[in-house]
Structure 1
Amino acid sequence: MNGSEIYQRLIASIEERVLKPGDRLREADLAERFGVSRTPIREGLKRLEAQGLAIHEPNRGMVIPTLDHNQINEVYFMREVLEGTAAGLAAKHASKPEIEILQDLVAADRKRVSDKDSLVRSNREFHRRLCLASHNRYLVDQIDNLRLSLILMAGTTLDTPERRETAVEEHAAIVEAIAAGNGAAAEKAARLHIAHAHKTRLQQI
């Protein structure tokens, strides 16, 4: 594996909570975990640091940072703006198969609300598909960059059982508006969904 592949593996490890905010990132430990030399590990860590997903702390070395209260507010503000815009554009540009995929995800999620881990994975897929349906590559790139900040937050809003069912129904409202071609309603529904997630996140702190 090269440095780029290690970077992707590190991102996945943080996203899946194998590596968590506050954890130290020791080259020797990571080299052993991934079965590679320290060189690609060092390259991957440099890229992680450039994205703000690793920082140097005195006496601790490189660690995964934890977002503070203000940073969480900033991330959710931008999510509301960007994903609201994506939903509005999806109502105008999404193809029939793209809409059907979103509808299928909602239908499946209604059956898995009690399975948190499965729902968390599906939730990421829903938001990824929603952004792609906007058919705006620059917007998708911005949302992808923002996603990197989201993975620095401890846990997930779906840790709260009441939030799971509500979140799925909010997804349903977004998709319904997109299917109807109602851009204003889709944007409003997406913004409301992110606002509710933001409130849940703050309650968890």
Structure 2
Amino acid sequence: MTDPSPSDAYGRILAAIDLGDYRPGDRLVESELAERLGMSRTPIREALQRLETQGVLARDGRSLIVASLDHDQLGELYTVRAELEGLAARLAAQHAAPEEIAVLYEMIAADRKLMDDPQALSRANKRFHRQIHLASHNRFLIRQLESVRRSMALLTFTSFAAEGRSPDAMAEHEAIVKAIEARDGTAADDAARAHISAAYQTRLKVDAGE
């Protein structure tokens, strides 16, 4: 996700949720947000309404709170994400420019230096996947992946915080890009699905207290 402009209330609130400034169950108050963001209440109100419509916020009586995902919803989210990420990788194998592939390799090299910082690596991971989405050159797919990304912002921790996950994830990223570079759509699809499946398994283990 690119940094929102100072006048983009929707983008700034969503970014705050994505960064964990507001977590599932936290109450969002229009007047407090207006003061924090230095904006009038009208764009804040419109942004909150939009986020509620998208399921990022939920009603708790008269208040709006950051929504949370239960076990079943988490599984549904990862099922859809695996399908869409696989398709994005498959299309990237067909349509990515050599320069886009080079950027993906550069991202992996830079991200390997962040493996001791789960939060920084989580942000870098989002940028890496976004780059693959763009390399698919399919605007409708990108739009659907943006919807998934909004829901992913509701998760309360990054799977990169789990022991051993970071190096595995970097290897999985490299497998995806190698398949894209080889123009092997099936291998790229399979590698992307395997990557999302591994992240989901890690999250389930953490939720189970392992």
Deviations 1:143-169, CA, capped at 9 Å, x for gaps: 111111110111111111311111111
TM-score normalized by the length of structure 2: 0.92
Q: 1:87 aligns with which of 89, 93, 98?
A: 89
Name which of 134, 150, 153 aligns with 2:152: 150
User: 2:43 and 2:186 mapped to 1: Cα distance?
Assistant: 47
Is 1:16 the counterpart of 2:19? The answer is yes
Other-structure match for 1:163: 165
Q: State the identity %.
A: 48
Aligned: 1:108 with 2:110 = yes
2:118/2:158 contact within 8 Å kept? no
The aligned counterpart of 1:120 is: 122
Q: In the alignment, which residue of structure 2 is the partner of 1:184?
A: 186
- Quote the Cα distance in structure 2 between the aligned partners of 1:112 and 1:97: 23
Aligned residues: 202
Q: Matched residues in 1 for 2:108 and 2:37: separation? A: 35
What SS does the aligned partner of 2:164 have?
helix
Aligned-residue offset at 1:37 = 2.7
The residue number in structure 1 matching 2:138 is 136
State the alpha-carbon separation in 1 of the partners of residues 99 and 163 from structure 2: 31
Separation in 2, partners of 1:27, 1:129: 33
Report deviation, 1:108: 1.3
Residue 48 (structure 1) aligns with = 51
SS at match of 2:189: helix
Match of 2:98?
A: 96
Farther-moved stretch of structure 1 (39-48 vs 125-134)? 39-48
Gaps of 5+ in 2: none
Alpha-carbon distance in structure 2 between the residues aligned to 1:122 and 1:41: 28
Moved over 4 A (4+): none
Alignment map for 1:60-75 (pairs within 5 Å): 61-75=63-77
